[in-house]
């Protein structure tokens, strides 16, 4: 009997210490996962403001896609999510301290984000993109992206670059907005005119 006392005490102590550590971590994760928290960096404010006016936040369904929904792996990919988020946070703090908010090039970071956002991020919510009977063109293009022909490959952000972070003069609501239109292949038109 006596030989169980020490391990039990240790397990108890472990739980006692781990519980607050885990819940603090969890609480921190939740606290730092809101768009409001992201916008607490000056560098991110314009992106936040654009998101506020976008249809990814304003629609009749009441669905809201937060920063993390697109920019980080899904929280159920716990390890991936945890490390990516921590890494991003550390990188952002370091960049802010080293270069100041003036060192943040929004255009450059926009391109980095397009390259970084995996199709899976979009497809978490937009799962049914092959059946859009009133938009045959989109069906055609989505098929080319999901089942690329030999030698071709397309990502969501190749063609969709006007969804969220567009600087708008007023709030856009999906239910009142003009018909959505993708921007088309970004690889076309890199010459001659800005993106």
Partner 1 sequence: MRRVSATLVALLCLAWAVPVLAQQAFPKPKEYRIERGMPKQAEACIQCHRQETPGIFTDWAMSRHASANITCLDCHQAQETDKDVSQAHAKYYDRKDLPFGSREYYIPVAAAVSPKDCSRCHPDESAQYAKSKHANTIEIMWKIDPWLNKGMNSEEERKAGCYVCHGTILKTDKDGNLDRATWPNVGVGRLNLDGSLGSCTSCHTRHRFSVMEARKPEACGQCHLGPDHPQIEIYMESKHGDIYTAFKDTYNWNTAGGAWTPGTDYRAPTCAACHMSGSGKVMGTHDVTERLSWETQAPLTVRPSDFAAFPAKTDWKAERDKMKAVCLQCHAKSWTDGHYEAFDKVVQEYNEVYYKPAKAKFDELVQKGLVSTEKYFDEEIEVEFYELWHHEGRRARMGAMMMAPDYSWWHGFYECKKRYNKFMEMADHLLSTGTKAYIYPNYPGMGGSTEKPPQIFNKKP
- Give the one residue of 16, 134, 147, 175 binding partner 1; rule: CB under 8 A: 134
Our finding on whether 111 is near partner 1 (CB under 8 A) is no
- Give the one residue of 118, 120, 137, 171 binding partner 1; rule: CB under 8 A: 137
Which 163-182 residues touch partner 1, going by CB under 8 A? 178-179, 181-182
What CA–CA distance (Å, rounded) separates 77 from 86?
A: 14
Binding segment for partner 1 (CB under 8 A), chosen from 13-21, 52-60, 70-78, 144-152, is 144-152
Our finding on whether 158 is near partner 1 (CB under 8 A) is yes
* Least distance between partner 1 and beta carbon 137 (Å): 3
For residue 65, give the nearest of 77, 49, 51, 79 by alpha carbon: 51
Our finding on whether 190 is near partner 1 (CB under 8 A) is yes
Residues 6+ apart with CB under 8 A from 61: 174
Q: Give the interface with partner 1 as residue ranges (CB under 8 A).
A: 134-138, 140-141, 144-145, 149-150, 152, 154, 158-159, 162, 178-179, 181-185, 187-194
């Amino acid at each position: 009997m006596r030989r169980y006392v020490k391990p039990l005490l240790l397990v108890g102590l472990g739980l006692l210490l781990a519980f607050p550590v885990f819940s603090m971590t969890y609480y921190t994760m939740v606290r730092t996962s809101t768009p409001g928290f992201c916008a607490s960096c000056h560098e991110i404010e314009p992106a936040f403001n654009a998101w506020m006016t976008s249809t990814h936040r304003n629609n009749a369904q009441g669905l809201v896609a937060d920063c993390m929904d697109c920019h980080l792996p899904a929280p159920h990919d716990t390890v991936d999510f945890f490390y990516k988020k921590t890494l991003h946070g550390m990188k952002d703090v370091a960049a802010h301290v080293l270069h100041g908010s003036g060192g943040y090039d929004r255009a450059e970071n926009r391109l980095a984000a397009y390259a970084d956002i995996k199709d899976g991020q979009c497809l978490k919510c937009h799962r049914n993109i092959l059946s859009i009977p009133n938009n045959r063109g989109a069906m055609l293009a989505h098929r080319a992206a999901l089942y690329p022909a030999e030698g071709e490959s397309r990502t969501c952000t190749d063609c969709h670059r006007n969804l969220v972070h567009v600087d708008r003069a007023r709030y856009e609501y999906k239910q009142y907005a003009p018909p959505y239109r993708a921007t088309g292949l970004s690889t076309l038109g890199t010459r001659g005119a800005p993106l």
